[in-house]
Protein backbone atom coordinates (compact mmCIF):
# COMPACT_ATOMS: atom_id res chain seq x y z
CA UNK A 1 0.00 0.00 0.00
CA UNK A 2 0.90 3.67 -0.05
CA UNK A 3 3.55 4.94 2.33
CA UNK A 4 3.34 8.17 4.34
CA UNK A 5 5.93 10.18 6.27
CA UNK A 6 5.21 10.24 10.00
CA UNK A 7 6.69 11.57 13.22
CA UNK A 8 5.78 9.37 16.20
CA UNK A 9 5.97 11.26 19.48
CA UNK A 10 5.54 10.30 23.10
CA UNK A 11 3.04 11.90 25.43
CA UNK A 12 5.40 13.91 27.65
CA UNK A 13 5.25 17.15 25.62
CA UNK A 14 9.05 17.32 25.80
CA UNK A 15 10.75 18.48 22.62
CA UNK A 16 12.89 15.34 22.34
CA UNK A 17 10.16 12.78 23.10
CA UNK A 18 10.07 11.16 19.66
CA UNK A 19 10.18 7.50 18.75
CA UNK A 20 10.92 8.40 15.11
CA UNK A 21 11.03 11.45 12.85
CA UNK A 22 10.26 11.57 9.12
CA UNK A 23 9.80 7.80 8.85
CA UNK A 24 8.00 6.29 5.86
CA UNK A 25 5.36 3.76 6.89
CA UNK A 26 1.75 2.83 6.32
CA UNK A 27 -0.73 5.49 7.44
CA UNK A 28 -0.94 5.71 11.24
CA UNK A 29 -4.04 7.11 12.93
CA UNK A 30 -4.68 8.10 16.55
CA UNK A 31 -5.47 4.92 18.48
CA UNK A 32 -3.49 2.60 16.19
CA UNK A 33 -1.06 0.19 17.80
CA UNK A 34 2.54 0.61 16.72
CA UNK A 35 5.30 -1.91 17.37
CA UNK A 36 8.44 -0.25 18.75
CA UNK A 37 11.88 -1.51 19.65
CA UNK A 38 13.78 0.16 22.46
CA UNK A 39 11.10 2.47 23.82
CA UNK A 40 13.14 3.66 26.81
CA UNK A 41 11.13 4.95 29.78
CA UNK A 42 7.89 3.79 28.17
CA UNK A 43 8.62 0.20 29.22
CA UNK A 44 6.75 -1.05 32.29
CA UNK A 45 9.93 -1.58 34.32
CA UNK A 46 10.72 2.16 34.44
CA UNK A 47 7.39 3.78 33.57
CA UNK A 48 5.68 6.34 35.76
CA UNK A 49 2.67 8.54 35.31
CA UNK A 50 3.45 11.97 33.87
CA UNK A 51 1.11 14.93 33.40
CA UNK A 52 -1.66 12.81 34.95
CA UNK A 53 -1.72 10.61 31.83
CA UNK A 54 -2.06 6.85 32.27
CA UNK A 55 1.00 4.70 31.66
CA UNK A 56 0.75 3.29 28.12
CA UNK A 57 -0.17 -0.38 27.80
CA UNK A 58 2.68 -2.69 26.91
CA UNK A 59 2.26 -5.68 24.61
CA UNK A 60 4.56 -8.48 23.49
CA UNK A 61 4.35 -10.73 20.45
CA UNK A 62 4.23 -14.36 21.58
CA UNK A 63 3.51 -17.25 19.22
CA UNK A 64 2.50 -14.75 16.50
CA UNK A 65 -0.11 -13.22 18.83
CA UNK A 66 -0.20 -9.79 20.46
CA UNK A 67 -0.40 -10.22 24.26
CA UNK A 68 -0.92 -7.56 26.93
CA UNK A 69 1.91 -7.55 29.50
Tens-place pLDDT, residues 3-48: 999 999 887 777 888 888 999 999 999 888 888 877 766 666 666 6
Give yes or no for a contact between 3 and 25, defined as CB atoms under 8 angstroms apart: yes
- Taken in order 54, 47, 45, 64, the sign of the CA dihedral is positive
Q: What is the CA radius of gyration of the chain?
A: 13
0.75 surpassed by pTM? no
Amino acid sequence: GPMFVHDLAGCTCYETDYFCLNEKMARVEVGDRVILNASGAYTSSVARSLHELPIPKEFVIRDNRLCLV
